[in-house]
Structure 1
Amino acid sequence: MENNPDIITPPLTPQDILSHLQWYLDAGVDETIDEAPLDWFALSAEAAKASANSARAPQGTPQPIPGVAAKPAAMATVEQTVRQAQDLADSCQSLAELEKAIATFDGCSLKKTATNTVFSDGSLNSKIMVIGEVPGVADDRHGKPFVGDNGALLDKMFAAIGLSRDTDLYLTNMLPWRPPGNRTPTAEEIAICRPFVTRHIALAKPDLIILLGGISAKTLLNSDLSITRLRGKWAEYDLAGQKIPACPIYHPSYLIKQPKAKADAWKDLLDIKARIEEMSL
């Protein structure tokens, strides 16, 4: 169908454009493509041929391009970035300082694609710390962990054993930024963000930790086991020699996709309730 030249479409305002972009982000779109198909294999072959011809041609002394700064010899390695994150985290003496430090840290590429930095929610006075995996779409939009369907289910789960996020729980995630398209974070991204969550635990000083999902459980317990193998068993998180009881359980997002796992989740919640009563928390 040809476009009707008599129909005039009003131009999009900046707010319209932002609204469209946000819709695409919420839908999980994390890259753009052209409208016409492009044969990348053919382009690769042409590039390889051009490279071969260039290699055979006599080479002169390369001249710097005016106005273009030379690139550094090597980008900062992941290890260097992890050390930067560790030094920054260690310098924080309060949760407020840590939140500000994370918001200003630019060493993780996830920050560039996230809408907000998601730090924490719940009661600062709670002795029960809940650590999830990564922010979801709603979390990223509101800047708070466990918002939307995952948060609603989580609130119901803890309400079933008499706990409320407003008075009894302190919540955060392993990573403060949502990966684009809700993809699984890479090992490098987890390593870079780990110093912040370990410092978060040290500053929050919990007496009991609940680990939601495989990413938080495997990382903080230094385990290669899956969450299905880790759940149902109490573990210990080592905080500078202090052993803190830690209970790995299924993440709400997993329970939404796998309702049959709710029976196991209920058993875990009852175990948590019993331990809380035993510890008089």
Structure 2
Amino acid sequence: MTMYDWEELTNTCKNCKKCRLSNMRKNVVIERGNRNAPLMLIGEGPGEQEDIQGRPFVGRAGKLLDLLLDALMIKEHQYYITNIVKCRPPGNRVPSEDEAQTCLPYLRNQVFLVKPKIIVCLGATAMKYVIDRDARISQIRGCWIERKGYWMMPVFHPAALLRDESKKVLMWEDFKKVKQRLDTICQS
């Protein structure tokens, strides 16, 4: 795949009609945060509020994520947020295999441009397409995986915490590890 610069990537995403999700979207949801951040957070796909506003993680799950980042003093200039798919799946369903595969080149291009040191996969879908297709989030969440010069960690998706409050402690512990590694990287 040809790697695009930011302007080309943004225009390509906004004009993409490669899968059925493009027929239902209000907005293409590409990014939020610092394009030079050491930390990249990757979610599943846009929800209703994200589709309306054109920015990732601005709905209820996003507000919870923002509270977590603020509580750990992970500053906005330190992170970049995106998703596996850039258009909202109907009813917030999990993206299908072909939808995810269609969007993955855009995500790879984002990783290429941002050059993060740490990649956090928010939820099982991001983990599946970025880290390991066969892993279970409940088994490898909170574990560091080093691959191709990136430190990667799968964690629960913030939406899962809205459904099951018992996961909040685990998410807090996982993000404390992220903060610790981020601080180490930023000091060196």
Aligned to 1:128: 39
Taking a change above 3 Å as real, the CA distance of residues 103 and 234 of structure 1, as seen in their structure-2 partners, is same
Give the corresponding residue for 1:203: 113
Judge conservation of contact 1:221–1:236 (CA < 8 Å) in 2: no
Partner of 1:97: 8
Query: Which residue does the alignment assign to 2:80?
Result: 170
Q: CA deviation at 1:91?
A: 4.3
Q: Give 5+ residue unaligned stretches, structure 1.
A: 1-86
Match of 1:245 among 151, 166, 173: 151
Q: Equivalent residue for 1:42? A: none
Query: After the TM superposition, which parts of structure 1 deviate over 4 Å for at least 4 consecutive aligned residues?
Result: none
Ranges in structure 2 where 5+ consecutive residues have no aligned partner: none
- When normalised by structure 1's length, the TM-score is 0.64
- The equivalent of 2:141 in structure 1 is 231
Q: Tell me the residue number matched to 2:127.
A: 217
2:28 equivalent to 1:117:
yes
Deviations 1:196-246 (A, max 9, x none): 1011101111111111111111111133112111202001243xxxx2001
> Helix, strand or coil: the match of 1:228?
helix
Code of the residue aligned with 1:139 in structure 2: it is E
Contact residue 123 and residue 157 of structure 2 kept, 8 A: yes
2:153 and 2:7 map into 1 onto residues whose CA distance is 26
Residue number in structure 2 paired with 1:79: none
Is contact 2:36–2:116 with CA below 8 Å preserved after alignment?
no
TM-score relative to the length of structure 2: 0.94
Measure the CA separation in 1 of the matches of 2:96 and 2:8.
26
**TM-aligned CA distance change 1:99 to 1:157, over 3 Å:** same
- CA distance 1:237–1:100, change in 2 (3 Å): farther
Q: How many residues align?
A: 187
Residue 108 in structure 1 maps to residue 14 in structure 2 = no
| Structure 2 letter corresponding to 1:223 | R
Q: For 1:76-105, what per-residue CA distance to the aligned partner results, in whole angstroms no more than 9, with x for missing partners?
A: xxxxxxxxxxx4xx241x122111111112
Identity %: 32
Greater C-alpha Rg: 1
